[in-house]
Amino acid sequence: MSKLLEIKGLSVTLPSKSDRQYAINDVSIFVEKNEILCVVGESGSGKSVTAFSVMGIYDKRALTISKGEILFDGYDLAKVNEDQFRKFRGKKLAMIFQEPMTALNPVMKVGEQITEILEIHTDLTPGKRKSKAIEAMENVKLPDPEKIFHSYPHELSGGQRQRIMIAMALVLEPDLLIADEPTTALDVTTQATILELIKEIQVRRGMGVLFITHDFGVVADIADRVVVMQQGVVVEQDTVNQILANPQHEYTKMLIGSVPSMVPPQKKSIDVQAVLELTTIDKKFGKSSLFRNDRIVRAVDQVSLKVAPGETLGIVGESGSGKSTVARCAIRLIEPDSGSILIKDIDIAKLRESGLRHLRREIQIVFQDPYRSLNPRRTVGQSIVEGPMNFGQSEEAAIHKAKDLMEIVGLKPDNFNRFPHQFSGGQRQRICIARALAMEPAILIADEAVSALDVSVQAQVLELLEDIKKKFSLAVLFITHDLRVAAQICDNIVVMKKGAVVEMGATHEIYTQPTHPYTQSLLQAAPGQKYF
């Protein structure tokens, strides 16, 4: 096979006050035609910097290519200027980004965003550009491409937006596709479909694919070869079978060992009274009137569940299944249309804010994105003490408790006066957990709290949640689309589809003997089952 892309001894220098000299140091990798090369490693390993260097879109104010070559199509991309790069991007090189909602223009219809690429790089007429865009959308198996062509990004689901990104990347049939964590935030069935789609298109067109991920389950399903990076350095590279079956480097072994198993441990049933109980909760979105007939979405349909102290109840299902709406109803961030929500035998479903205030401390939530959850202008210490002080605790007592909690969640109390941007993603999530615990809640809701974290950091945060649950006898409502995580942390599972509960029971029973076809399809779609 001929090498499509060859990176030789590439080093990219970080700004002078950084924690290390190089973002990537002496990196040598290659991608052949008609193969998928997966680059894996934790956050900060240099995966994305490598990809952005190939595309020429790294931050040139902060990063500098200090040595090495990026050989592609007879050129050294480390040395070409921006005008030359424009001729490559789209036509020869294309990229799919991790978060399509931020990569797509929110004020342009998605069809126009695809035709814009064709307008820049081809001489096609407007009619032919539209036809080619529709064809690209059909190739990524979007339903009703004609209708979606005229839709805005916010009108599409996460999986549909990601397909639009793939259609944009492939419309000019590039030689090399770079995919930067394209399935991280997707549920298992959508993820499986997107991975299958990328593999199918790659084989059909004979493309080379540079696929960046931290998920070894994804690697097992899609890779031909694997490159493992740590702290900006390539520590191991080989075929996917060799890496997964016989890893050589300790770091590779650690990453593979951090992948949660799909086999849940047997757990004892918890026989204590529930501290949170939802009964026949309903929630609809959309309005209908004499003059308007908007689509009514039944986001939550007659959902009943209960969680006891010391129990972790998982809610799993695809995007749009109603998982997060149930959580937001439980914490009364939104008001249910009907049903009851009992917290320690008090029904909060219809309470006004004045009646809710004293119960707010009983139930706390940790969201998916800790960076958006924390105020960037306040120190982490200020964020942790704010809640207890609002409920009457003295500043001195609140600070003392906050520092104790920082130690409990594995952070140094000396970092009390640092700002959120000075921490890693995993550390920020620990801060959010400490902030929630500062209120001494009876119930903790974790809404996709580990989905964006590296497998090793994820393992640490999950262990932390389990320890905290036991230490404080918390009832935990754990919402996730990651079935591997749910298998290891949840005592019981609720499976949701289109707002309704289709199956519930002990995690071990649900995983080993699923009765509903939807549950069976979810479990079958989990990546990497051949190896993990």
Task: Dump pLDDT digits (tens) for 224-243.
Answer: 999 999 999 999 999 999 99
Residue 159, pLDDT above cutoff 70: yes
Percent of the chain with pLDDT over 70: 98
Residue 185 CA: distances (Å) to CA of 216, 317, 330, 390: 15, 13, 23, 34
Query: 32, 58, 31: which is closest to 46 by C-alpha?
Result: 58
Rounded to an integer, the average pLDDT of 445-468 is 84
Q: What is the pLDDT of residue 266?
A: 85
Do 234 and 249 form a contact (C-beta atoms < 8 A)?
A: no
Q: 458: domain range?
A: 308-336+355-525
264 CB-near residues (< 8 Å, 6+ apart): 487, 488, 490, 507, 508, 511, 512
Burial (CB count <10 Å: 0-12, 13-18, 19+), residue 429: buried
Query: 180, 167, 250: which is closest to 209 by C-alpha?
Result: 180
530 CB-near residues (< 8 Å, 6+ apart): 220, 221
Residue 457, pLDDT above cutoff 90: no
Q: What is the pLDDT of residue 1?
A: 55
Task: Quickly state the pLDDT bin for 371 (edges 50, 70, 90).
Answer: confident
Which of 182-186, 263-267, 384-388 is predicted with the least confidence, judged by mean pLDDT? 182-186
Residue 363 located in a structural domain: yes
User: Which pTM value belongs to this model?
Assistant: 0.81
Burial (CB count <10 Å: 0-12, 13-18, 19+), residue 531: middle
The count of structural domains within the chain is 1
Q: What is the pLDDT of residue 107?
A: 94
Q: What is the pLDDT of residue 519?
A: 95
Residue 219 located in a structural domain: no
Q: What is the pLDDT of residue 206?
A: 87
Quote the mean pLDDT of the chain.
89
Distance CA 159, CA 179 (A): 15
Rounded to an integer, the average pLDDT of 279-300 is 76
Residue 402 located in a structural domain: yes
Residue 476 located in a structural domain: yes
Distance CA 322, CA 99 (A): 21
55 CB-near residues (< 8 Å, 6+ apart): 89, 93, 95, 178
Residue 287 located in a structural domain: no
- In degrees and rounded to multiples of 5, residue 64 shows phi and psi of -135, 130
Burial (CB count <10 Å: 0-12, 13-18, 19+), residue 107: exposed
Residue 498 located in a structural domain: yes
Residue 288, pLDDT above cutoff 70: no
Query: 274, 343, 257, 336: which is closest to 301 by C-alpha?
Result: 336
Task: Quickly state the pLDDT bin for 182 (edges 50, 70, 90).
Answer: confident
Residue 34 located in a structural domain: no
Do 127 and 105 form a contact (C-beta atoms < 8 A)?
A: no
Encode pLDDT of 83-112 as tens digits: 888 888 888 899 988 777 778 999 999 999
Do 72 and 89 form a contact (C-beta atoms < 8 A)?
A: no
Residue 514 located in a structural domain: yes
Q: What is the pLDDT of residue 186?
A: 75
User: Strands (DSSP E) along 49-201, which ranges?
Assistant: 64-72, 75-76, 93-96, 176-180
Query: 138, 92, 84: which is closest to 111 by C-alpha?
Result: 138
- What DSSP letter does each residue of 282-333 carry, written as one string? EEEE--B-SS-BPPPEEEEEEEEEEE-TT-EEEEE--TTSSHHHHHHHHTTS
Residue 449, pLDDT above cutoff 90: no
Distance CA 131, CA 146 (A): 10
Distance CA 40, CA 251 (A): 11
Task: Quickly state the pLDDT bin for 291 (edges 50, 70, 90).
Answer: low
| Amino acid in the structure at residue 205 | R
Residue 264, pLDDT above cutoff 60: yes
> What CATH number does the domain containing 433 carry?
3.40.50.300
Which residues pair with residue 93 across a beta bridge?
A: 89, 176
Encode pLDDT of 13-41 as tens digits: 988 877 789 999 999 999 999 999 999 99
